[in-house]
Amino acid sequence: MEGESKFKSLWVLFWTFAKMGVMTFGGGMAMLPILQREVVDNKGWATEEELTDYYAIGQCTPGIIAVNTATFIGQKYGGVAGGIVATLGVVFPSVVIISILAGLISNFADLAWVKNAFAGIQVCVCVLIFNAVVKLLKKSVVDKRTAVIFFLVLAGGIFLKVSPVWFVVGAALAGILLKNLEVRKA
C-alpha cells in the first residue's frame, strides 16, 4: 500500500468497520457472525482460523472484545495505521448514535416499540451466534483431542466463574504438550 492507494485502503477499512459497528447488536460475540460475513467471506482480510485466534486473544487481553478484534484485523490488513483506523471505524457509529439518542430522546430504552424490536433482535442474535459457533467448530475441532479441549472449556465456561485467561493459557499449554508427545511417539 503506497500513497493514494494506501489512503483508499484505509478508507475502505474505516467504512467496512463502521458498517459492522452499525450491524452489531450486543457485545463482541454479536459481532462475530457479522465479521465472518464481511471480513472472511466478502473481503478475505482474515481466515476463519485467524478470527478464532483473535477472539481467544481478545478475551484475555484488556479492553472490549470488539475493539481488540478490530485492531487485530486492521493491523493485519494495513499495519499500525490499519489497526487504529479499523478501531476508529467500529466505534464511530456508536459515538454518533448514542450522542443523538442521549441528546434528544432520554427515554429511548423505555419506548414500547424499542423494547419489542430489541426482544426480537435478541432472539436473532442467539441464532446467529449459534451458527457462528458451528462454523468455527469445523475449523477448530480437527481431531479427538481438540474435541476434548472444546467440551472441557465449554463446560468450564458455563459452570465455572473464572477468567477466560485461565482457559486460554491452559489450552495453549495443552496444545504444546499434546503436539510434543505426538512428536516423541513418532
**Interface positions, 139-178, toward another protein (CB under 8 A):** 139-141, 146-147, 149-154, 156-165, 167-168, 170-176, 178
Amino acid identity at 77: Y
Is 185 a residue that touches another protein (CB under 8 A)? Answer: no
Q: Which is nearer to another protein, 7 or 160 (CB)?
A: 160
CA distance 40 to 138: 15
CA distance 52 to 69: 10
Task: Choose which of 34, 39, 40, 46 interacts with another protein (CB under 8 A).
Answer: 34
Q: Which is nearer to another protein, 8 or 27 (CB)?
A: 27
CA distance 103 to 121: 24
Task: Choose which of 17, 63, 78, 185 interacts with another protein (CB under 8 A).
Answer: 63
Task: Choose which of 23, 78, 89, 184 interacts with another protein (CB under 8 A).
Answer: 23
**10, 11, 84, 98 from 4: Cα distances, Å:** 10, 11, 18, 33
State which of positions 1-20 bind another protein (CB under 8 A). Answer: none
Q: What mask of x and - would describe binding to another protein in positions 84 to 103, judged by CB under 8 A?
A: x--x--xx-xxx-xxx-xxx
Is 43 a residue that touches another protein (CB under 8 A)? Answer: no
CA distance 41 to 58: 21
Amino acid identity at 168: V
